[in-house]
A and B are shown apart, each in its own frame.
Chain A
């Protein structure tokens, strides 16, 4: 099995927590006609990290970097969830039982159902466990 095809590249952007920073990022992506598929902001003491799945991560990376943003790629996985009560539990239980830690996560609910984006400490292990359990992982080709 090629676990790598399930590894998705998220872009992570360092941002000061002040007005206009998100607008600047979003404007740059819009200019390049890059579509944001999923997105979250994590904030700490005075700064934050904007995390996004986009359809053209390389292009997004180069554009934001050229504008002076601090940007890095982070590997995540995307699990299809049942868009119904108990859907999240099924996924979380698989990882919990396997002793895999979720560092952070965010979700979106699109026309093809709900998707959970996960950053885990052991990505290959997580992919195997999730597939073994019969759940569906989205391939990176779905996004980029």
Chain B
């Protein structure tokens, strides 16, 4: 099924023409952003010199650090009064990355999500429970408006209270759920403990963290759903950027809205289809916050073969990151954020180690941190308070509950050269 058949199945030549038209519009739009004016001047590039899609290579990349430097509104190409919504996502250090949307952006975004859902056969007959964070995270409101656009019956259940979630699924006859794959595993276990099944479920949309084919099999058999991988990032609106079709062999990325390049992250050179690299995306339909050649940090490849569903070229499921970003319970975490928090607490050292485990299918992050030699009072209670303080500061900064272990000064490894402070003990995808 198609939401927008004409656009989704454009012939290559027509698609290219549309992409180029939209790229030129985007180039005009970015001229309202000081950052891009400077960038173009520094690189000696004029937007008029971008005449073909390939010419985009003349334009320097935009990195997450650039967005952070623009905090809060430096990347908005329209006046604030035209911005109707703001979301944020983790920055690499203290400040989050801010993304803004005009009314038209919200309409475009929900339309892309409607495409995804329609692609896998979801219709207005379906009842949809959206079990993700509804706050600053784009996954909640993003899917909410997309599902409403399709005409589904939407239950904005957000996260938490798993028993109540299961009761609602059964009482409301929910057919479709959206959550992180680890929460879906948890949901199935709680249902089992309750001695209940969720027979109305048909479709599971899982995203915001990497998950394996074996997790797919487990989720499908435990929940009785067909499981689809959903991909997106706030800088490109949020979820809805790419999605699996019923073939479930790669994700369709909406080429009319996102110009995709795969590059070697070291050289910045484009690689051929079928070769793995970092995905760089130029969104072609963003009004409030246009970006050029945005480094997603996600590692994938463009699949060479077409798809029998007649939509455009697919990308492979994301296999990792080209930077050190971690995804913990769907939340992006950079080790530098942890360092930043620790620097502000004089009683602890700046050395740390992060351990990530999956316990009962939920990600758990443990941070080992040294106490400073001269901050030890001799009292256990002071240490316990310090431990609580570090937990709180980390929670405030990362929006994530962590376990903090205080360790003896000098006991953590010191690194010469590139530090390896993160030990990810979760199941490998």
Complex CA–CA separation, A47 to B282 (angstroms): 50
Which residues of chain B are within 8 angstroms of A14 by Cβ–Cβ distance?
A: 371, 376, 383, 406, 408
> A37 an interface residue at 8 Å Cβ cutoff?
no
B419 contacts the other chain (CB 8 A): no
Interface size of B by CB at 8 A reads 18
Q: Given the complex, which residues of A lie within 8 Å of B405, measured CB to CB?
A: 16, 45-47
Q: How many angstroms between the C-alpha atoms of A103 and B379 in the bound complex? A: 10
Which of chain B's residues 371-415 have a Cβ closer than 8 Å to chain A? 371, 373, 376-381, 383-384, 387, 405-411
Q: Which B residues are CB-close (under 8 A) to A47?
A: 383, 405-407
The answer to the question of A74 belonging to the interface, with a C-beta cut-off of 8 Å to chain B, is yes
Q: Which residue of A lies closest to B409 (CB)?
A: A70
Closest partner residue, chain B, to A104 (CB atom):
B380
Q: Is the CB of A16 within 8 A of B408?
A: yes
Structural contact, B379 and A74, CB atoms closer than 8 A: yes
Beyond A14-B408, A70-B371, is A44–B380 a contact (Cβ under 8 Å)? yes
Q: List 29 interface pairs A-B (beta carbons < 8 Å), by A numbering.
A: A12-B376, A12-B378, A12-B379, A14-B371, A14-B383, A14-B406, A14-B408, A15-B408, A16-B406, A16-B407, A16-B411, A44-B383, A44-B384, A45-B405, A46-B405, A46-B406, A47-B383, A47-B406, A47-B407, A49-B379, A68-B410, A69-B408, A70-B376, A70-B408, A71-B378, A72-B377, A74-B379, A103-B381, A104-B380
CB neighbours of A10 from chain B (8 A): 378
Q: Tell me whether A49 and B380 are in contact in the complex, defined as CB-CB below 8 angstroms, given that A44-B387, A68-B410, A69-B408 are known contacts.
A: yes
Against A, the Cβ 8 Å flags (1 = close, 0 = not) of B351-383 are 000000000000000000001010011111101
Instruction: Name A's interface SS.
Output: strand
Tell me the complex Cα distance, A71–B409, Å: 11
**Interface size bracket, A side:** 20 to 34
Candidate in A68, A70, A72 with the most chain B CB atoms within 10 angstroms: A70
Most buried by B among A10, A14, A15: A14
Q: Is there an interface contact between B408 and A49, defined as CB atoms closer than 8 Å?
A: no
Complex Cα spacing A32 to B405, Å: 31
How many residue pairs link A and B with beta carbons under 8 A? The number is 55
In the A-B complex, the 6 residue pairs with the smallest Cβ-Cβ separation, listed nearest first, are A12-B378, A72-B378, A74-B378, A70-B376, A49-B380, A46-B405
Q: How far is the CA of A68 from the CA of B409 in the complex (A)?
A: 7
Which residues on B sit within 8 Å (CB–CB) of A49? 378-380, 383
Assembly CA distance A47 to B387 (angstroms): 10
A12: B residues at CB distance < 8 A: 376, 378-379
Alpha-carbon distance between A44 and B380 when the two chains are bound, in angstroms: 7
Report Cα–Cα, A134/B411, bound state, in Å: 48
Closest to A119 in B: B379
> Which B residues are in CB contact (< 8 Å) with A44?
380, 383-384, 387
Within the complex, the shortest CB–CB distance from A62 to chain B, in Å, comes to 13
> Which residues of B sit under 8 angstroms from A74, Cβ to Cβ?
378-379
Interface residues of B (CB under 8 A from A): 371, 373, 376-381, 383-384, 387, 405-411
Give, as a whole number of angstroms, the nearest-CB distance from A8 to chain B.
13
Within 8 A of B (CB), among A87-141: 103-104
List 18 other contacts, CB 8 Å, given A15-B408, A16-B408, A103-B381: A14-B371, A14-B383, A16-B411, A42-B380, A44-B380, A44-B384, A45-B384, A45-B405, A46-B406, A47-B405, A49-B378, A49-B380, A70-B376, A70-B408, A71-B378, A72-B377, A72-B378, A74-B379
- Nearest A residue to B411 via CB reads A16
1/0 contact string of A1-18 vs chain B (CB within 8 Å)? 000000000101011100
The reply on A143 being an interface residue by CB < 8 A is no
**Residue from A48, A69, A73 within 8 A of B380 (CB atoms):** A48
- The A6-44 residues at the B interface (CB cut-off 8 A) are 10, 12, 14-16, 42, 44
Complex CA distance for A74 and B408, rounded to whole angstroms? 19
Tell me the smallest distance from the CB of B353 to a CB of chain A, in Å: 13
Q: CA separation between A14 and B376, bound complex, in Å?
A: 8
| Contact A45–B379 (Cβ < 8 Å) | no
Name the distance in Å between B421's Cβ and chain A's nearest Cβ: 18
The CA-CA distance from A22 to B411 in the complex, in Å, is 15
Q: Which residues of A contact B371 (CB under 8 A)?
A: 14, 70
Once the chains are docked, how many angstroms separate the CA of A72 from the CA of B371?
Answer: 13
Contacts of B384 on A, CB cut-off 8 Å?
44-45
Report the bound CA distance from A48 to B384 in whole Å: 10
Distance in Å: Cβ of A117 to nearest Cβ of chain B? 14
Contact of B408 among A42, A68, A72, A104 (CB under 8 A): A68
Which residues of the partner chain A approach B380 to less than 8 Å between Cβ atoms?
42, 44, 48-49, 104
